[in-house]
Amino acid sequence: MRRILMAAMALGALTATAEARITRLENLKVQPAFGGKLFGPAGTYERVTARAHGEVDPKSPLNANIQDIRLAPRNARGMVEYDTDLDIIRPANPAASNGVHLFEIINRGNKLGLAFYHADVTGGIANLNAIDDAGDGWMLKQGYTLVWFGWQADVAPGDNRMTLHVPAARNADGSPVTGVVRSEWGLQAPAKSINLNGGWFNAGNTTSYPTASTDNRTKLADGFLPVLTVRAHEKAARVAIPNDQWSFADCAGATTTPSDTKICYNAGFDAGKLYELIYRAKDPLVMGLGFAAARDLADFLKHRDKDDAGTVNPVAHGKDTKAIVMGSSQSGRMIRTLLHLGFNRAEAGGMAFDGMLPHIGGGLLPLSLRFAQPGRAWGEQIDHLYPAYDFPFTYARQTDPLTGRTQGLLDRCTTDNTCPRIVHAATALEVWEGRQSLGLTDPLATKDVADPANVRTYIMGSTQHSPAPLPLPAPTLCQYAGNPNPYVWTMRALLDGLTKWVRDDKRPPAAAVPRIADGTLVAPDSVHFPAIPGLRFTALSNPLHVLDRGPRYKAGDTMGILDVEPPKPGSASYGVLVPQVDADGNDLGGVRSLFVQVPVGTYTGWNKFRADLFDGGFCNLSGSFIPFAATKAERLANGDPRLSIEERYPTKAAYVNAIRVAADRLIRARLLLPDDAYRLVTEAETNGIRKGP
């Protein structure tokens, strides 16, 4: 019996070492947060920082969707290791916790959540990582434990950005893995030298894959020669730049130094043009470990008492603890892809995350990809051809007539019973510029597709990717001023609804989206936009074709290896629709917030570049705001068809009453919290009619 027990214990120990898990918390520090400020019944908070070490089994089927995991170096136990920054804000009194660990998938190393869910944060999201500024502290007053961690392994250090350390893939003989990489730059200012992975969204915040050879003028043994091209806009023909006019070097200063991660162009890169480099790179990072880090950290904080070295789990947990993950833009796509690839199943079984809130992040993220560039986006002009929108588009399972695949984002979690409850939130800009309509319809846009029972989708009408700051700055890159319509109040209501759904089993508000059936989701050339003086509406869209990226790319999972660069587009395209508008140009469908129901101008989900930039295509991530005329006389003099402020709200009382009625309507729909409604009505009573956006 003793021998049997000892054998069983040994087998248990062996099994434990084969599990993916957090093994060690290093340099754990605890300090007061927010200067000891009190946040209602939750009291004060503490900040915990550490370095979390983890490991995964490269042979486990649960890690099979980590590209190149079998080419990663292993430790003595045969495991692949990673380590990540960890930052936690927890109630100082564990009893004050609301029982929810709220994870934010950070964006290119930056924390954004406080500004998206808290009012009055100084600088908004422009004040990245300023977690010493809690604004009105809404999430903290609720008792959430906030968790941030690094998941994107190519984030460059600096400016308090958080990152993940993972190994580079190596061939079996120890030699470097190489492959073709396409890098595109659309610059906002001229430059002579830039990072290979630079550009509009990545500039300064990500590292670059080194070139396999700094000699750009001699063909490699297989005949490969790097190619640099330029074009005026996305649809323009590429023009080759001779290889003797550029080099792999840093020439930003007085001297030129060879570099395997930078490019020098003697004539200088111009702003407002698209440059594309196809080169042979080496040392691809095993980026897909970012999915494992999210899964294993959520599981550790929710269930484990301590790490392997005995360091105590720094957050309150128990059998009723829930984990919700939220993320915006790039980070929302990361959440959707984590779910799609099966990483919401903890290795010990059960769900890693009980709830998910992907925000302004339609499509998928190419993280589990050899030579992945997860900082790339999905623009109509910038980053147009990078993997971001492969079928499946919807949570519901359906068949794609263009590829013949039948899939849905919930396929894997349905199989192993690990599907979380999901609130998907997006702005009008994602519908216009980001192809978000594909998440609402069949692939050819002939009919609406309903959410599965565990999903609710909300499209926030007449909003842009992130609200423009006030006072509105004069446009520089775009033709029109940005859209400042706030959605913080809606996002708070949605997070509150998701929390109650996950923790208390209380159903959230009904989905609110534009639809084909009621005419609020239409083709771009069917939008009845008013003839507003000074604004030229054109039926722009961001089309999507099936792209041939080579035989080793797994389009159904947005993973694998890219062999064809640039990708070859097919002739057939998906159906991309946009919101229909009312007589003011404001969206008819989706969540019509207080300031859409009681507007002082037109808020759009689109804007255009200046005519001299990218042929006047969509101005990245920017909507527009066009104020109403102050008086009827001014309106008539300008030929503006939209009623003026004085015609809409002849008195302060009329305006306040309109605000109050709209607020009551939103409270009943559970799309505005009562405390937030009280604040907004009080502001209207105090300040009267809004003089600006």
Tell me: the pLDDT tens digits for 638-670? Answer: 999 999 999 999 999 999 999 999 999 999 999
CA torsion, ordered 221, 274, 112, 592, to nearest 10 deg: -140
**Structure confidence at residue 217 as a pLDDT band (50, 70, 90):** very high
Residue 13 pLDDT greater than 50, yes or no: no
Q: pLDDT tens digit string along 318-328?
A: 889 999 999 99
**Structure tokens that stand for 157 in this block:** 């250090």
Residue 10 pLDDT greater than 50, yes or no: no
DSSP letter, residue 526: G
Mean per-residue pLDDT, 407-433: 98
**Structure confidence at residue 155 as a pLDDT band (50, 70, 90):** very high
What pLDDT does residue 122 have? 83
Residue 285 pLDDT greater than 50, yes or no: yes
Q: How many residues does the chain have?
A: 693
For residues 161 and 150, what is the distance between their CA atoms, to the nearest angstrom? Answer: 9
What pLDDT does residue 8 have? 39
Positive or negative torsion for Cα 395, 325, 383, 273: positive
Residue 563 pLDDT greater than 90, yes or no: yes
What pLDDT does residue 525 have? 96
Tokens 């192993």, residue? Answer: 416
Under 8 Å between Cβ of 577 and 544: no
Comparing C-alpha atoms, which of 661, 666, 686 is closest to residue 676? 666
DSSP letter, residue 239: E
Residue 232 pLDDT greater than 80, yes or no: yes
Under 8 Å between Cβ of 137 and 39: yes
Q: pLDDT tens digit string along 293-302?
A: 999 999 999 9
Lowest mean pLDDT among 61-65, 109-113, 277-281, 548-552: 109-113
Mean per-residue pLDDT, 414-425: 98
What pLDDT does residue 11 have? 37
For residues 232 and 238, what is the distance between their CA atoms, to the nearest angstrom? Answer: 9
Q: Average pLDDT of the chain?
A: 94
Give the contacts of 276 (CB within 8 A, at least 6 positions apart).
182, 183, 184, 185, 228, 229, 230, 231, 238, 566
Between the CA of residue 446 and those of 16, 441, 527, what are the distances in Å?
Answer: 51, 7, 17
Under 8 Å between Cβ of 104 and 148: yes
What pLDDT does residue 221 have? 84
**Structure tokens that stand for 172 in this block:** 């079996």
Residue 16 pLDDT greater than 70, yes or no: no
What pLDDT does residue 6 have? 37
**Structure tokens that stand for 376 in this block:** 């790339």
DSSP three-state, residue 223: coil
What pLDDT does residue 455 have? 98
What pLDDT does residue 127 have? 72
Question: How many Cβ atoms from other residues are within 10 Å of residue 217's Cβ?
Answer: 10
Lowest mean pLDDT among 8-22, 342-356, 509-523, 584-598: 8-22
Q: pLDDT tens digit string along 44-85?
A: 999 999 999 999 999 999 999 999 999 999 999 999 999 999
Judging by beta carbons within 10 Å of its beta carbon (0-12, 13-18, 19+), is residue 629 exposed, middle or buried?
buried
Tell me which amino acid residue 401 is: P
Mean per-residue pLDDT, 585-598: 98
Residue 36 pLDDT greater than 80, yes or no: yes
Mean per-residue pLDDT, 160-175: 95
Cα Rg of the chain (Å, integer): 26
Comparing C-alpha atoms, which of 355, 344, 361 is closest to residue 425? 361
**Structure confidence at residue 198 as a pLDDT band (50, 70, 90):** confident
Tell me which amino acid residue 117 is: Y
**Structure tokens that stand for 554 in this block:** 């797994």
% of the chain at pLDDT higher than 70: 96
DSSP three-state, residue 356: strand
What pLDDT does residue 514 have? 98
Lowest mean pLDDT among 11-25, 54-68, 358-372: 11-25
**Structure confidence at residue 604 as a pLDDT band (50, 70, 90):** very high
Under 8 Å between Cβ of 128 and 148: no
What pLDDT does residue 692 have? 53
Residue 691 pLDDT greater than 60, yes or no: no
What pLDDT does residue 348 have? 86
